[in-house]
């Protein structure tokens, strides 16, 4: 059996700091659980631009296509704000998603009990929250043509096109239904069918896929703006939410803050199966590069650590080991350890990025 390959792209800002803690956990799994990975590292985003003049070198793209999974830190920063749009750091991430055809973005929003008071909502609203937003990732308004800024008469006009095909909707809907079958068997599809033709098609195709192949899954439909309101009113009514690229971007960030901090949330971007049966996959924390705190030991590595847990579950068929890692994180939080983004008035213990990683490793040791 060949050793699974993992390509690590730390990126910019706090990316290298949080990824360093993940590297320690990967090493722990090799030493303590006999789970060896062939790990390599490369550049993406601003770091790649500084080295190569492009946010993603072609060689790096080729390596990503061959890897069993890609783990990414974060990209971007004010240093790159004045670059041409085509070479901004974020274009490297978009290229990875597009060329690997990572069409299903899974963004869980789970509220650990120890952090329920960190949400801006009441404890009873968020305690025990465990939902997943499945966001279509390779089409929609971020990729549709025509796009650009043109001149009409004496003024400029910005154009972006919302475009979806039946097959693009079909495959992400199937991802959501399959995920729901492993959870609470419930899917809510969100769009704007009341004002957008693409929303009408979205609703029709999701319903068709459900009726044909997933009648056992409970399906509901909701307008995306109403969905945003319901996420704030009573988020525990949902289990799996499936939605398009733009609405998924907005709704998943709103859901992130229900849990108390963006620094807590992982994500998985999955595509079609490769020859070995594993889906093409990229795992990354939901948070950005946070350049204002980079290099200060203040970053929360938990979202990146939990992204690796998702890789264990979805790319390496190691669900029990993913559970072990998630339980270790939960134990550390229950013990009161907090990075800067989670410090409150609850008597918790402030720790650095590295100390948080060390605590997770200790909890993993305790789990043996």
CA pair distance 109, 236, nearest whole angstrom:
11
Does pLDDT of 327 surpass 90? yes
Q: Which residue has the higher pLDDT, 257 or 176?
A: 176
Q: Which of 101, 170, 253, 323 is catalytic?
A: 253
pLDDT in tens, 217-237: 999 999 999 999 999 999 999
Structure confidence at residue 119 as a pLDDT band (50, 70, 90): confident
- Is there a catalytic annotation at residue 244? no
Selection from 350, 252, 232 nearest residue 303 by Cα? 252
Task: Report the pLDDT value the prediction gives residue 325, as an integer from 0 to 100.
Answer: 98
Task: Report the pLDDT value the prediction gives residue 256, as an integer from 0 to 100.
Answer: 81
Asked if residues 308 and 25 have their Cβ atoms less than 8 Å apart, the reply is: yes
Q: Which of 192, 239, 280, 314 is catalytic?
A: 192
Does pLDDT of 134 surpass 80? yes
Q: Which of 12, 244, 249, 341 is catalytic?
A: 249
Q: Which of 225, 236, 323, 335 is catalytic?
A: 225
Q: Which whole number is the average pLDDT over 196-208?
A: 98
Q: Using CA of residue 264, residue 172, residue 308, residue 128, what is the dihedral sign?
A: positive
pLDDT in tens, 332-348: 999 999 998 887 656 67
Q: Which residues contact 221 (CB under 8 A, 6 or more apart)?
A: 188, 189, 190, 191, 193, 203, 206, 207
Task: Report the pLDDT value the prediction gives residue 36, as an integer from 0 to 100.
Answer: 93
Q: Which whole number is the average pLDDT over 27-45?
A: 97
- Is there a catalytic annotation at residue 142? yes
255, two tokens: 């859901």
CA pair distance 64, 49, nearest whole angstrom:
17
Print burial letters for 217-247: b (CB count within 10 Å at least 16), e (below 16): bebebbbbeebbebbeeebeebbbbbbbbbb
- pTM recorded for the entire structure: 0.90
pLDDT in tens, 259-299: 877 778 899 999 988 878 788 999 999 889 999 999 999 99
- Percentages helix, strand, coil for the chain (3-state, rounded to 5) are 45, 20, 30
Q: Which of 49, 80, 103, 142 is catalytic?
A: 142
CA pair distance 163, 146, nearest whole angstrom:
10
CB atoms closer than 10 angstroms to residue 195: 10
Q: Which whole number is the average pLDDT over 49-78?
A: 97
Print burial letters for 127-163: b (CB count within 10 Å at least 16), e (below 16): bebbbbbbbbbbbbbbbbeeeeeeeeeeeeeeeeebe
Q: What are the structural domains, with CATH classification, of the chain?
A: 1-111+262-368 (3.40.718.10)
Does pLDDT of 10 surpass 80? yes
pLDDT in tens, 160-200: 999 999 999 999 999 999 999 999 999 999 999 999 999 99
């Amino acid at each position: 059996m060949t050793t699974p390959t993992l390509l690590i792209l730390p990126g910019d800002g706090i990316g290298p700091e949080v990824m360093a803690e993940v590297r320690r956990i990967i090493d722990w799994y090799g030493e303590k659980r006999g789970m060896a990975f062939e790990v390599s590292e490369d550049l993406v985003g601003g770091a790649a631009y500084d080295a190569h003049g492009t946010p993603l070198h072609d060689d790096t793209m080729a390596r990503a296509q061959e890897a069993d999974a890609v783990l990414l830190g974060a990209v971007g920063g004010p240093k790159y704000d004045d670059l041409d749009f085509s070479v901004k750091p974020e274009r490297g991430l978009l290229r990875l998603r597009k060329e690997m055809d990572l069409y299903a973005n899974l963004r869980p929003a789970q509220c650990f009990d120890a952090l329920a008071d960190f949400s801006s909502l009441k404890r009873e609203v968020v305690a025990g929250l465990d939902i997943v937003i499945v966001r279509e990732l390779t089409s929609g308004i971020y990729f549709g043509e025509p796009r650009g800024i043109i001149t009409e008469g004496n003024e400029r006009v910005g154009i972006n096109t919302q475009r979806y095909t039946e097959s693009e909707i079909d495959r992400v809907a199937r991802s959501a239904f399959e995920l729901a079958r492993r959870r609470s068997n419930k899917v809510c599809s969100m769009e704007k069918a009341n004002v957008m033709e693409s929303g009408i098609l979205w609703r029709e195709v999701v319903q068709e896929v459900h009726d044909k192949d997933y009648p056992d899954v409970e399906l509901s439909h909701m307008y995306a703006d109403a969905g945003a309101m319901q996420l704030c009113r009573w988020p525990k009514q949902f289990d799996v939410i499936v939605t398009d690229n733009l609405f998924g971007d907005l709704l998943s960030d709103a859901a992130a803050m229900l849990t108390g901090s963006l620094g807590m949330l992982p994500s998985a971007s999955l595509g079609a199966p490769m020859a070995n049966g594993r889906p093409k996959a990229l795992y990354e924390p939901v948070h950005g590069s946070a350049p204002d705190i980079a290099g200060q030991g203040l970053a929360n590595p938990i979202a990146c650590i939990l992204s690796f847990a998702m890789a264990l579950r979805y790319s390496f068929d190691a669900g029990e080991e993913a559970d072990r890692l998630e339980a270790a994180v939960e134990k550390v939080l229950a013990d009161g350890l907090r990075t800067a983004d989670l410090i409150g008035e609850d008597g918790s213990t402030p720790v650095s990025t590295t100390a948080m990683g060390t605590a997770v490793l200790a909890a993993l040791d305790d789990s043996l």
